[in-house]
Structure 1
Amino acid sequence: MGHSKVDKAASRERVLRIAARKVRAEGVTGPGVAELMKEAGLTHGGFYRHFASRDDLIAHATAAALAEGTAKMERAARKNEEDPRIGLIDAYLTQQHRDAPATGCALVSLGADAGRGNQDFKRAYERQVRAYLDLIAGLGHETEDARAEAMLTLSALVGATLISRAMADPGLCDELLTAVTDQLKQHPSTPPAPAV
């Protein structure tokens, strides 16, 4: 790959990274092309060398924002070797995650946009939901209910984060995160003890 192609690819990736952060923070209608290009240190006129349209950029940025989450979830789970599910819960339901939507889980910030979006957007969102369900189901013990438990866990993680971001009372926000964390940790994710 020639030098200019390498530069072009690096510039495109930089714009995508910034756009992915912006769509997590502001939704898909928030970031404008001029603002994104300026933040990437590029001219507005160079935009079309990288993307066919703003919609094309937003589609790629949304896919990138969603896909970034899998690696973060895997790292979070590895923080607790004895019980990776607890490691994931502890890392996800935090004030830091709540207060940083630009770097947080895109399932939280893009759910409403996906619900109103086109089929491609819905499919991208669904792919990420499926990836998280597989990841979470694989963290516990293999049981018949592992997938249902994963659905409950993912719904609680995303829902609690979304609700805590949407409220004004910091005390209630913190209380919600703590309560959901405690309840998820107490919820049976381990197989029942054998009968004696």
Structure 2
Amino acid sequence: MSDKKSRTRERILDAATSALIERGPIEPSVGEVMGAAGLTVGGFYAHFESKDALMLEAFTQLLARRRERLKQLDDSLSAQDRRVLAAAFYLSRKHRDAEVDSCPLPSSLGELSRLPEPFRRVLVEHTELMVAELAGSPEDADKALADMALMIGGLALARALGDSELSDRVLRAAKSAVI
């Protein structure tokens, strides 16, 4: 792939990523994504087979970035301390309000049942990898899974409530439950 084609593909993926974070994988149209990338719809199929293929790649990349960010936590910390630190970031106002590089799960989970199976496979793989990273032992896996579900649900509710005192309370309450 030429450098220009590669850069154009990345622009499209960046625009799709922003749309995915904000509104999930179904709602954004190809025209909207291409317009946000500063391109015309006509060039879309030179880069992606379909809208689902584009959104799946954006979804996969976003989740991989989330896992990479988690790996930056100090390995010498206990699994519980790692989860508490992860929650402190994940359930922050900064992450709630982020428009770039934030978690796509709160805006995407409700739509996954209407998307092709590869989306669920990516979610299963991501969930298993995150739980493995957050659990100190196999016995701790269910606690890590519960904390992950609490964080995603808490962030989804906080985002839905917008920048408000109630939203801030949801973030604080969810953070305090990750212990």
TM interval, shorter chain, is 0.7 to 0.9
Task: Compare CA radii of gyration and give the structure with the larger one.
Answer: 1
1:124 matched to which residue of 2?
Answer: 122
Q: TM-score, normalised by structure 1?
A: 0.79
CA-atom RMSD, angstroms? 2.4
Which of residues 60, 65, 69 in structure 1 aligns to 2:62? 65
Report the alpha carbon displacement of residue 176 of structure 1 after superposing the two structures with TM.
1.7
Structure 1 residue 28: deviation in Å? 1.5
CA–CA distance in 2 between the matches of 1:70 and 1:108?
A: 16
Deviation track 1:87-112 (CA, whole Å, cap 9, x = no partner) reads 21111111111123553212222111
Q: Quote the residue 1:137 is aligned against.
A: 135
Aligned residue number for residue 95 of structure 1: 93
> How far apart, in 2, do the equivalents of 1:31 and 1:169 lie?
23
> Of 43, 46, 57, which aligns to 1:46?
43
The 5-angstrom pairing of residues 1-16 of structure 1 reads 5-16=2-13
TM-score by length of 2: 0.86
Greater RCO structure (CA 8 Å; 6+ sep): 2
Unpaired runs of 5+ residues, structure 2, are none
1:5-43 per-residue CA deviation (whole Å, 9 max, x = no partner) reads 121112112211220221121111222222222222323
In structure 2, relative to structure 1, the CA distance for the partners of 1:177 and 1:79 (3 Å cut) is farther
**Consecutive unaligned residues in structure 1, runs of 5 or more:** 188-196
Asked if the contact 2:14–2:37 (Cα under 8 Å) also holds between the matched residues in 1, the reply is no
Deviation at 1:84, TM superposition (A): 2.7
Equivalent residues in 2 for 1:1-196, closer than 5 Å: 5-75=2-72, 77-78=73-74, 83-100=81-98, 102-138=100-136, 142=137, 145-167=139-161, 170-184=164-178, 187=179
